[in-house]
Amino acid sequence: MKKLLITGSSGLIGSEVSVYFAGRGWAIHGVDNNQRAVFFGPQGDTRWNQKRLESLLPNFVHHEHDIRDRDGIARLMKEVQPDAIVHTAAQPSHDRAASIPFDDFDTNAVGTLNLLEAARQNCPESPFVHMSTNKVYGDRPNRIPMIELETRWDYADGQYPNGIPEDFSIDQSEHSLFGASKVAADVMVQEYGRYFGMRTCCLRGGCLTGPNHTGVELHGFLSFLVKCNLQEREYRIFGYQGKQVRDNIHSHDVARFVDEFINAPRSGEVYNIGGGKANSCSILEAFKIAEQCSGKAMRYSYVQENRIGDHICYYSDLSKMRAHYPAWDITISLEETIAQIVRAWQERASD
């Protein structure tokens, strides 16, 4: 039986990948220490998802490890000898990073290096998939000429009809400390692929979402938005008139791409993984879809100052992903994704 080592296994992407590969006969070794509850407080707790995986997946083994523990990660990698590694653990908030810079960098950058080196020493042939972020581009996407429409911003520059490609520059921009720590990890993953010949890739995620997301205000756009709607709580919009655009990809479609890469891995690759233009929406547009799904009006307030590093408009150009892996494409629409998130929060509230 093939073995998958996945960090951040109790998070959105980690749990989705765990379920997906378990369904294909893999033994799953999940690494998670519920650090999200430390970063975000009780509302960020993911123990419920860990328990769900342990009860749902017969071949799931939970490992209570911190990826910052270099020796512990090395011992675990040697013990498990995984056939593939999917690294989703992170400090995921650019807002939070400013108040915990050492925790942020040690988790995102040093933790990634610990995993890479442990893999190189123990299982160098195993594909290594790293969940990066579109925040590695910093605020450079905001310098693209924009056009303001009724409910959203969009690119006025014809150079980007399908969104941001992978050769978009990451230099000379404001990243936030979170973006900087993820840049360090992203480049290191590429370097282990190119320098050591390991089969690695960085998935620069847009808005990764789905029904198993534990959304909080500082991270988890659609999940937190829906939670506020259902609980009739006020949602705060930060700048850009609520017309800032994100592209949204269901966690299942992320897991499907991870599978495609592991089956035909490359070295040092980078992919912008998001919902593309078709699955993009502004905050105002997301309000409307959530209201249609729940039957409740959205309550919100507006804060003039935007978040540092927030993109006015960002959606991923999926051309490279589709060219390298033509069997993959988006299968779950934005509307269906939000409907699933609504149902998931309703079910959790009734438990």
pLDDT at position 219 is 67
Pair of tokens at residue 136: 């590695």
Q: Which of 288, 302, 300 is nearest to 338 (CA)?
A: 288
Residue type, 68: R
Instruction: Please report, in tens digits, the pLDDT of each residue of the chain (351 residues total).
Output: 999 999 999 999 999 999 999 999 999 999 999 888 788 788 778 898 999 999 999 999 999 999 999 999 999 999 999 999 999 999 988 788 999 999 999 999 999 999 999 999 999 999 999 999 999 999 999 999 999 999 999 999 889 999 999 999 999 999 989 999 999 999 999 999 999 999 999 999 989 999 988 777 766 789 999 999 999 999 999 999 999 999 999 999 999 999 999 999 999 999 999 999 999 999 999 999 999 999 999 999 999 998 877 899 999 999 999 999 999 999 999 999 999 999 999 988 876
Angle at which helices 283-294 and 221-231 pack, to 10 degrees?
50
What burial class does residue 333 get, using C-beta atoms within 10 Å of its C-beta: 0-12 exposed, 13-18 middle, 19+ buried?
Answer: middle
Which pTM was predicted?
0.94
The answer to whether residues 166 and 120 touch, using CB atoms and an 8 Å cutoff, is no
Q: Which of 307, 283, 273 is nearest to 139 (CA)?
A: 307
What is the three-class DSSP state of 145? coil
pLDDT at position 196 is 98
Specify the long-range contacts of residues 191-197, CB closer than 8 Å, at least 24 apart. Answer: 191/268, 192/116, 192/120, 192/128, 192/268, 193/128, 193/266, 193/267, 193/268, 193/269, 194/267, 194/268, 196/120, 196/124, 197/124, 197/267
DSSP symbol at 297? P
E strands, the chain, are 3-7, 27-31, 60-63, 84-87, 128-133, 146-148, 153-155, 200-205, 207-209, 234-238, 245-250, 269-273, 280-282, 299-303
Q: How far is CA 236 from CA 5, 163, 299, 300, 308, in A?
A: 37, 27, 9, 6, 15
Q: Output the CA torsion 58→60→62→66 (10° steps).
A: -170
Pair of tokens at residue 171: 């230099």
State the first-to-last Cα distance of the chain, in angstroms, to the nearest integer.
Answer: 35
Pair type for strands 245-250 and 153-155: unpaired
Q: Which of 311, 310, 304 is nearest to 241 (CA)?
A: 304
Domain count, the chain: 1
Q: Which of 169, 150, 213, 218 is nearest to 11 (CA)?
A: 213
Chain-centroid distance, C-alpha 189: 16
CA neighbours within 13 Å on the CB side: how many for 190?
Answer: 14
Q: What CATH code is carried by the domain that includes residue 217?
A: 3.40.50.720
DSSP result, 105-124? HIIIIIHHHHHHHHHHHH-T
Pair type for strands 146-148 and 153-155: antiparallel
Q: Hunting for tokens 């008139």 — which residue is that?
A: 241
Q: Which domain holds residue 229?
A: 3-350
CB contact set of 64 (below 8 Å; sequence gap of 6+): 32, 33
What number of helices (H) and strands (E) belong to the chain? 13, 14
pLDDT at position 45 is 85
